[in-house]
Amino acid sequence: MNALPDLTPALVNFVAIRLAETTAKDWKEMPAETKKAHRAKARRLLTAERKFLEKHPDGGAAGAAASEA
């Protein structure tokens, strides 16, 4: 499996900002409860990604190739 970066607060914030479809400047002005919700979504997404890659070390490519055949 490829080495994924550690699940750090900086990574969670980066993904949360992208999920919120906003800029870092607007993120700073966002209400705390809204940021908390986006961070929770980001953690769930990153955790799901890691679990998927643990089960499918090839990134799911074998399943995609089989469905195309």
Are the beta carbons of 5 and 11 closer than 8 angstroms?
yes
8-66 pLDDT, tens digit per residue, is 999 999 999 999 999 999 999 999 999 999 999 999 999 999 999 889 888 777 665 55
Is there a domain that residue 48 lies in?
yes
d(CA 54, CA 52): 5
Is 18 contained in some domain? yes
Report the distance separating Cα 46 and Cα 51, nearest Å.
9
| pLDDT tens track for 53-65 | 889 888 777 665 5
- Report the distance separating Cα 29 and Cα 37, nearest Å: 15
> Does residue 2 form part of some domain?
no
Q: Quick check: is 33 in a domain?
A: yes
Per the structure, the complete domain to which residue 24 belongs is given by 9-56
Interatomic CA distance for residues 64 and 7, integer angstroms: 27
Count structural domains, the chain.
1
Residue 52 lies in a domain: yes
